[in-house]
Amino acid sequence: MRAAVVGQGYVGLTGAVALAQQGHRVVGVEQDRERLACLRAGEPPVLEPGLIQQMTAVLRTGRLEFVEDLADAMVADPLDVVMICVGTPPAADGSANLSQVLTAIEEAAELAGAPLVVLKSTVPPGTSDMLLAEYPELRRRFVCNPEFLNQGSALDDWQAPARIVAGAHHPEAVTVLRDLYRSVSCPWVTSTPATAEMIKYASNAFLATKISFANELARMCAAPDLNVDHVVQGVGLDPRIGHALLRPGMGHGASCLPKDTAALFHWAAGQGIPTPLLDATVRTDAQQPAAVLGLLRESVGGRLRELEVAVLGVRHEPWSDDLRSAPSRVLLPLLQEQGAAVRVWDPGLTPDELSHLAPSATAHTALLTAVAGAHAVLVLTEWPQAVEADWADLAARMREPRVVVDAKNCLPPALLHRLPVVYRGIGNRRPAPEPAATEPSANELAAADPVAPQTVV
């Protein structure tokens, strides 16, 4: 089939490459001239593992090309499918800004040849029907087909998704979509467009709730005899719950979960539907940067003023360059407001990019120089270079009070607790004491347990 993919960001570019790998002839449409120039030079403008290699391979087959306007995609041959993957960023009030979708649909509706129009962008329930009321000619050939990929495994997710959701008013539209995805094997959910839109928001709201729940658990596991790592491990082993995203840390992060929970919250409020659970999920997440800052402040003895703090990692995840809602964007200014002298290190960003994100921080290209002489270290990204660093050496190079706050719970706790540093994670990560080598005597047991039977002598 011949498909145009409108918008060449994280979703559209990985989708264009995946569809071309599946044998389709694909035209990637990108209006941003800088992004378009990168694409035409064979360089992906977004970071995704394996993307450059797979993009290079499909470009060689001649099945993938890039144009600036959707109308240009029609010049060579007619299109069977137009897939809309444009952004739906948050508006100031938290609602989804649909302006890119409105423009793309208008352009798609004007095309000759009546291609199937597939809406991949994440939009609030009712958006497709609002668009179809405006363009009734699209009604028989429109599918809302939300995307569920994870940044970091986007290409695999395109080839082997957990499910395909197709919201349409006419079965023939779903038939064309099935033809497009014929080489993908997974369960299908067919529904109305509004239900498809809700499935996407509900999925992200549920994932966000899991993260907020893990962070709330971590707050409850502050006591010395509770270890949050063991709690989430034990809870997640239940197949009804699972480990995915059930992990305390810096919160929702990246871009989709914060913007989609905010948009769903806004949509429900507009319908007059109370959402106390979603409200709590969002509020717990909003508190996380301040909670991490509080942990750091408490660990250094109450004041950050004039302390040198090395922030290790600015990205939310090492494998993604998506900084749109990275928690560091909130945390770095808070840290500077408290008077700390901030150093930043992130091997995924150039010193210029680091300086742009944190203008009054000192950018470091080496982990060692960022940490040497610092009073405190704050780990915000699970960079392997930081996780696998020689922490005994780093600790020796730090200045008192030598505090390490691990906001991603990614450093080895048993090692860090043995070093001459104050090590704190999100929730208590102190390992349980090793079991005694010999059986304790009855008197030792009684002494250790105040509620043990008093008959023991």
Residue closer to ligand NAD, measured from CB, 8 or 212: 8
Piece of the chain touching ligand NAD by CB under 6 A; list 57-65, 109-117, 145-153, 190-198? 145-153
Whether the upstream peptide bond of residue 401 has omega within 30° of 0, thus cis, is yes
Q: Among the options 38, 144, 221, 256, which is catalytic?
A: 256
147 binds ligand NAD per the rule CB under 6 A: yes
Tokens of 219: 């707050």
Q: Give the Cα separation of 204 and 135 in Å (integer).
A: 29
Sheet holding 64-67, edge to edge: 64-67, 25-29, 2-6, 81-84, 116-119, 142-144, 164-167, 188-191
Q: What is the DSSP string of 22-34?
A: TT-EEEEE---HH
Piece of the chain touching ligand NAD by CB under 6 A; list 1-9, 130-138, 170-178, 279-287? 1-9
Residue closer to ligand NAD, measured from CB, 100 or 284: 100
By Cβ distance, which residue is nearest to ligand NAD?
Answer: 9
Which of 31, 47, 167 shows the shortest CA–CA distance to 107? Answer: 31
38: annotated active-site residue:
no
State the residue for tokens 């993919």.
Answer: 5
Q: Give the Cα separation of 406 and 118 in Å (integer).
A: 42
122 binds ligand NAD per the rule CB under 6 A: yes
CA 116 to chain centre: 30
Tokens of 106: 């208008």
Which of 276, 277, 256 shows the shortest CA–CA distance to 210? Answer: 277
**Least separation in angstroms between CB 230 and ligand NAD:** 31
Residue closer to ligand NAD, measured from CB, 35 or 247: 35
Residue closer to ligand NAD, measured from CB, 230 or 319: 319
**Least separation in angstroms between CB 403 and ligand NAD:** 34
Interface with ligand NAD (CB under 6 A), residue from 2, 4, 9, 63: 9
Tokens of 270: 């507009």
428 binds ligand NAD per the rule CB under 6 A: no
Site size toward ligand NAD, by CB under 6 A = 28
What is the number of other CB atoms lying within 10 angstroms of the CB of residue 129?
17
158 binds ligand NAD per the rule CB under 6 A: no
Sign of the Cα torsion 92, 97, 99, 100 reads positive
Interface with ligand NAD (CB under 6 A), residue from 95, 100, 127, 281: 100
299 binds ligand NAD per the rule CB under 6 A: no
Q: Give the Cα separation of 190 and 177 in Å (integer).
A: 11
6 binds ligand NAD per the rule CB under 6 A: yes
Residue closer to ligand NAD, measured from CB, 85 or 218: 85
Interface with ligand NAD (CB under 6 A), residue from 2, 5, 10, 278: 10
**Least separation in angstroms between CB 440 and ligand NAD:** 53
Piece of the chain touching ligand NAD by CB under 6 A; list 75-83, 120-128, 278-286, 365-373? 120-128
108 binds ligand NAD per the rule CB under 6 A: no
What is the number of other CB atoms lying within 10 angstroms of the CB of residue 201?
23
Overall residue count recorded for the chain in this entry: 457
> Crossing angle of helices 193-220/228-236, nearest 10°?
140
Q: What share of the chain is helix, strand, coil (3-state, %, to 5)?
A: 45, 15, 45
Residues 235-294 that bind ligand NAD (CB under 6 A): 255-256
Sheet holding 308-312, edge to edge: 362-364, 341-345, 308-312, 376-379, 403-406, 422-425
The H or E element that residue 189 is part of is strand 188-191
Pick left, alpha or beta for residue 438 (phi over 0 → left; psi -120 to 50 → alpha; otherwise beta).
beta
Piece of the chain touching ligand NAD by CB under 6 A; list 4-12, 50-58, 224-232, 385-393? 4-12
Interface with ligand NAD (CB under 6 A), residue from 12, 90, 167, 413: 12
**Least separation in angstroms between CB 214 and ligand NAD:** 20
CB 100 within 8 A of CB 119: no
**Least separation in angstroms between CB 165 and ligand NAD:** 12
Interface with ligand NAD (CB under 6 A), residue from 73, 104, 214, 218: 104
Residues 58-97 that bind ligand NAD (CB under 6 A): 85-88
29 binds ligand NAD per the rule CB under 6 A: yes
Strands (E), 365-448: 376-379, 403-406, 422-425
153 binds ligand NAD per the rule CB under 6 A: no
Piece of the chain touching ligand NAD by CB under 6 A; list 101-109, 134-142, 283-291, 339-347? 101-109
End-to-end CA distance of the chain: 85
Interface with ligand NAD (CB under 6 A), residue from 151, 227, 381, 409: 151
Residues recognised as catalytic: 256
Per CB under 6 A, residues contacting ligand NAD are 6-12, 29-32, 35, 85-88, 100, 103-104, 107, 120-122, 147, 149, 151, 255-256
